[in-house]
Amino acid sequence: KAGVTQTPRYLIKTRGQQVTLSCSPISGHRSVSWYQQTPGQGLQFLFEYFSETQRNKGNFPGRFSGRQFSNSRSEMNVSTLELGDSALYLCASSPKTGPYGYTFGSGTRLTVV
């Protein structure tokens, strides 16, 4: 059974650009959540999707957005990149929302220069 797949693994962008990250959840998992991880702030919740609907949102500016497709795959977009957006972006999937187990992907390492 394939795990959570995130693409690309590494990305380098310049300030002001935008970026789209992709996440394919475990087959059958309908909930996808996104997290930003930095050395200074640790893991921070971005948003969670279930059945193509955003269910929860963390405290990030509107430059961070996401969506989920009918096949449960999800994308995350960051517009007008800032140096501080450099981080490891993690996606996690679970069968449904609620107190269920989350399986994380290996992440996308974004570097903004």
Partner 1 sequence: KNQVEQSPQSLIILEGKNCTLQCNYTVSPFSNLRWYKQDTGRGPVSLTIMTFSENTKSNGRYTATLDADTKQSSLHITASQLSDSASYICVVRSREIKAAGNKLTFGGGTRVLVKP
Applying CB under 8 A, the span of 13-21, 48-56, 69-77, 79-87 interacting with partner 1 comes to 48-56
d(C-alpha 104, C-alpha 33), whole Å? 9
What is the signed CA dihedral for 56, 61, 62, 66, rounded to 10 degrees?
A: -50
- Residue closer to partner 1 by CB (options 44, 79) is 44
Which of 12, 38, 52, 57 touches partner 1 (CB under 8 A)? 57
Determine if 25 is a binding residue for partner 1 (CB under 8 A). Answer: no
Q: Which residues bind partner 1 (CB under 8 A)?
A: 4, 6, 33, 42-45, 48, 55-59, 88, 90, 92, 99, 101-107, 109
